[in-house]
Amino acid sequence: MKVLLTWLREFAPIEGDPTELGEAMSSLGMAVESMETFDFMDGLVVARVLDLRSHPSADRIQLVDVDAGDGEPLQICCGAFNMAVGDLVPLATLGSTMPNGMEIARRRMRGEWSNGMLCSAAEIGLGSDAAGIMVLPEGLTPGTPVAEALGLADEVLWDLEINPNRPDAMSVIGVARDLAAHLGVPFSVPRWVVPETGESVSEVASVEISAPELCGRFVARVLRDVTVGSSPTWMQTRLSLCGMRPINSVVDVSNYVMLELGIPNHTYDLNRVPGGHLGVRWAREGERIVTLDGVERDLGPTDGVIVDADDTPIGIAGVMGGASTEIGPGTTDVLLEAAWWNQRAIAETSARLGLRSEASARFERGADWAINDLATDRFCHLMSEMGATVTRGHIDVFGVIPERPRVTVRVNRVNAMLGTTLDGERIRGLLEPIGFEFEPGSPADAPVVVVPSFRPDTTTEIDVIEEIARHHGYDRIETTVPRSPVAGHLTGYQQDRRRARRLLVGAGLIEAMPLPFLAPGDVTRAGLRVESPVTLANPLAAEESVLRPSLLPGILNAIAYNESHRNPSVEFFEIGTVFSAPAPGEIVPTENEHLAVALAGREAPGAKEYWDLLVAAFDAPGATLRNQDDLPGLHPTRGGVVSVGDSTVGVVGEVDPGVLEAWGIPERVAWLEIDLGAFLRSEHGAHRYRPVSVYPSSDIDLAFVVPDDRQASEVEEVLRDAAGPELARLVLFDVYRGEGVEPGSRSLAYSLRLQAPDRTLTDEDVALIRARCIEAVEDRLEGHLRH
């Protein structure tokens, strides 16, 4: 919402430094987004055209003699021809600087001197009209600075951010009222006098509301002898500065009244409305209308319409008028509407049609229903100044209007919410200037206030408390810090997650954070077999329409990005949410937090190292790894599943070469992805103390030849089992295939450290354990000791 200082001043004597006034508005919740003053026009003065002469040697410029205040003719060369002798025009005098930086100097144009420059409205920052020289309103004195002559000398333009709960501040009077209350100056809206002539409005027009819940109030007036021309310069100036393009006198006045009073209004060419009759009803399925913007629109039973005497829709209520009754250049009789529409109905229609207008924006936030008559008077007042006549009286029909809520405001509740010590008098002093009325006779410690009609957002005590806080001043509320009775802490899971992150960062990995969105093909391209990944109903782009079921595709994108920027062999990890279809009976998708490690340029063992690192760091006793062929997305013969206890928590291995090819990644990628939640839910982290034995240990090395179809992890398991509690450490230190080992088998060499907590193991003890191990491998794995 853009507001001008001089416009505000028509309703309250607002004075002060523009920056401080801006801060005051911000402190009231109308944040100043920008502020503009008009001091750029130094040296720009009003000049009267004395004579127009053709240039002796140029067709496209003429010679203009102007009076710049001293009565002497001053010759200017000018490329525009729209002015007449006697017009007042803006003259940029010698030595002045235009807003675009151009300096005005005396110069010769095709042999004739030009002693300044006449300007268009656009050139001096007053609107968009660049077609000709700006013709200023009559009555100005030549030589006066234009800024002063147009009343812009101390004009200030603020662009305010208005919150949805402040429909009143979508108008000049609303901003003025709030600011006046803050500054402690009086605020009032004049009753504009409308000279009425001729017949009564009810003789030429009628209004019937058939949908009272849609239309709370409908005020209509009729104007005659209207000339559709230009509106006065001052009005055009204000509209332009406030961001509305001047169009013609009727449209401009309509917009002016909307900006000033916050009441959207609509004009019909009376002669195109049969019998001057307007009806209000809900639209019917299948009805259509061509709106002012020339678009044909389908209507439905949730849309309000204005219909003519034939019951044909001629406007969409509160959103946009119809083309059939539009004001045209030949319009002389105008039927004016200033209605109040149900907020929700307008919001729904506007959303359904995707059609937002200045009017609908105001109606859906909630316009004032108490000043529609005033708005029509203001309209007629302004039009009558341009020669229109106004028929007698208003048509004023009511539907269902909201009641003004009566709200009990408990003084102690106010102070309990705000942490203040305001008394009833102070509260009254804050609320009355912004239109709240105090019901006489209500208790002093819990007065009943009646909410003004222009604050439809305010219905409950807390709403009123906010108004009190706003006008008391947020910055005047004393700050306190509550003492939390809670011991601040992270949950065990949150601590573990941080530990995992620290661990991986400590191991040299970089944490990646791809967006969780994937393109539709990414899931299958990554080799994942997910039947129905969760998709977005309204994605911004197709490439961002699928929610990731795995961290793999996003990380592959990140690796591919870096490969293509000459950064191969990146080593990433990620901790993030993955999504899958809702579980049976659930509405929302299943979410799991996954942890992934991706090592570009490394083979599967690299990923296994990180699994072992996690297992060691989190002391997960039941952690196992088993090879498994053809895991989704993984190298078909270089992958395995990892488990803790009975639950599988993830996969480890290498990304499928085919997938890497699809992503254009020219090197191998070692991959580990686990469900971090499942991993951390299983038993872990006990780090239970085991006494350090004081007795010496014995090391024995055993190399077994084991068939390839037996996993090393099985050998390990068998050895642990066979060796028993005296096995203090087991390390696989060599794997050998080749000469001396039969084909289809390999030699696995283990080092076993044996130690007892309570004695020194004898040679016999060690020999016994050794024999048990050999026997177990032979019996259970068809392996044998390598000779």
Partner 1 sequence: MTLTDEITRAGETAVAIIRGASSLEELKAAEPTIFGKKSALGSFKRSLGGLDPDERRDVGRHLNTVRAEVGDALEERRRELAAEERRRLLEAERLDLTEVPTSPRLGHAHLVSQAQERLEDVFVGMGFTVAEGPEAETDWYNFEALNIPRWHPARSMWDTLYLDLGDGDNVVLRTHTSPVQIRVMQNQGPPIYSVMPGRVYRRDTADASHMPVFHQIEGLVVDRGITFGDLAGTLDAFTSAYFGESISSRLRPSYFPFTEPSAEFDITCVICGGGGCQTCQRTGWIELGGCGMVHPNVLRNVDIDPEEFSGFAFGFGIDRLALMRHGVEDLRQMFTNDVRFLSQF
Applying the rule CB under 8 A, the residues between 234 and 273 that interact with partner 1 are none
Instruction: Report in angstroms how near the CB of residue 481 gets to partner 1 at its nearest.
Output: 4
Q: Would you give the DSSP letter of residue 596? A: E
Q: Which two tokens stand for residue 556?
A: 């592959």
412 binds partner 1 (CB under 8 A): no
Q: Which of residues 16-55 bind partner 1 (CB under 8 A)?
A: 26-29, 31
Query: Should residue 536 be labelled a site residue for partner 1 when binding is judged by CB under 8 A?
Result: yes
In the complex, the smallest distance separating the C-beta of residue 371 from partner 1, rounded to whole angstroms, is 21
Binding positions for partner 1, 629-688, rule CB under 8 A = none
Among 506, 622, 666, 707, binds partner 1 (CB under 8 A): 506
- Please give the order of strands across the beta sheet that includes 31-37: 2-4, 156-161, 31-37
Q: Using CB under 8 A, which of 94, 247, 507, 712 touches partner 1?
A: 507
Which one among 85, 193, 444, 462 touches partner 1, defined by CB under 8 A? 462
**CA max distance for the chain:** 130
- Name the minimum Å distance from CB 480 to partner 1: 5
Sign of the Cα pseudo-torsion (597, 602, 608, 612, in order)? negative
Listed ranges 109-117, 209-217, 511-519, 678-686: which one lies at the site for partner 1 (CB under 8 A): 511-519
Q: State the Cα–Cα distance between residues 69 and 145, nearest whole angstrom.
A: 10
Give the shortest CB-506-to-partner 1 separation in angstroms: 6
Please provide the size of the chain in residues.
Answer: 787
Applying CB under 8 A, among 115, 202, 206, 577 the residue interacting with partner 1 is 577
Residue type, 373: D
Grouping H, G, I as helix, E, B as strand and the rest as coil, residue 587 is: coil
Segment interacting with partner 1, rule: CB under 8 A, options 186-194, 467-475, 689-697, 731-739: 467-475
The rounded distance, in Å, linking the Cα atoms of 172 and 333 is 28
Contacts of 75 (CB under 8 A, 6+ apart): 63, 64, 65, 112, 113, 114, 115
CB of 595 to partner 1, least distance (A): 13
Q: Which of residues 171-230 bind partner 1 (CB under 8 A)?
A: none
Stretch that binds partner 1, among 91-99, 458-466, 675-683, 685-693 (CB under 8 A): 458-466
* CB of residue 601 to partner 1, shortest distance in Å: 13
Q: Which of these ranges, 49-57, 240-248, 504-512, 774-782, lies near partner 1 under the rule CB under 8 A?
A: 504-512
Q: How far is the CB of 575 from partner 1 (least distance, A)?
A: 8
Cα–Cα distance measured from residue 25 to residue 156, given in angstroms and rounded to the nearest whole number: 13
Return the residues of window 468-497 that contact partner 1 according to CB under 8 A: 469-470, 474-475, 477-491, 494
Contact mark string toward partner 1, 584..603, x via CB under 8 A: ---xxx-x------------
Segment interacting with partner 1 (CB under 8 A) among 308-316, 324-332, 518-526, 554-562:
554-562
Sole window of 7-15, 163-171, 270-278, 644-652 interacting with partner 1 (rule: CB under 8 A): 163-171
Contact set for partner 1, span 555-574 (CB under 8 A): 557-558, 561-562, 565, 567, 570, 572
- Give the nearest distance from C-beta 462 to partner 1 in angstroms: 5
| Cα dihedral 562, 567, 573, 575 in deg (nearest 10) | -30
Binding-site size for partner 1 (CB under 8 A) equals: 87
Token pair recorded at residue 203:
């003789």
In this structure, what are the phi and psi dihedrals at residue 309, rounded to the nearest 5 degrees?
Answer: -65, -25
Q: Which residues contact 539 (CB under 8 A, 6 or more apart)?
A: 517, 545
Q: Would you call 703 exposed, middle or buried from its count of C-beta atoms within 10 A (0-12, 13-18, 19+)?
A: middle
SS3 state of residue 314: strand
Q: Residue 47: left if φ>0, alpha if ψ -120 to 50, beta else—which one? A: beta
Site for partner 1 in 415-454 (CB under 8 A): 416-420
CA distance 203 to 223: 13
Which residue lies nearer to partner 1 by CB, 421 or 637? 421
Is the CB of 7 or the CB of 610 nearer to partner 1?
A: 610
| CB 208, CB 397: distance < 8 Å | yes
Q: Is 431 exposed, middle or buried (0-12, 13-18, 19+ CB in 10 A)?
A: buried
Among 64, 146, 512, 597, binds partner 1 (CB under 8 A): 512
Whichever of 121 and 170 has its CB closer to partner 1, that residue is 170
Nearest distance in Å: CB 360, partner 1: 10
Q: Is 304 in the site for partner 1 (CB under 8 A)?
A: no
Binding of residue 517 to partner 1 (CB under 8 A): yes
Residues of span 316-345 touching partner 1 by CB under 8 A = 343-344
What is the token pair recorded at 259?
A: 């900006």
The verdict on 459 binding partner 1 (CB under 8 A) reads no
- At position 191, the amino acid (one-letter code) is R
Which residues have a Cβ under 8 Å from the Cβ of 488 and sit 6 or more positions away? none
Integer CA distances (angstroms), 364 to 31, 162, 307, 356, 612, in order: 21, 14, 21, 10, 61
Over the window 340 to 379, marking each residue x when it contacts partner 1 by CB under 8 A and - when it does not, the resulting string is ---xx--xx---------------xx--------------
Give every strand in the sheet of 62-67, ordered side by side. Answer: 73-78, 62-67, 44-54, 88-92, 117-118
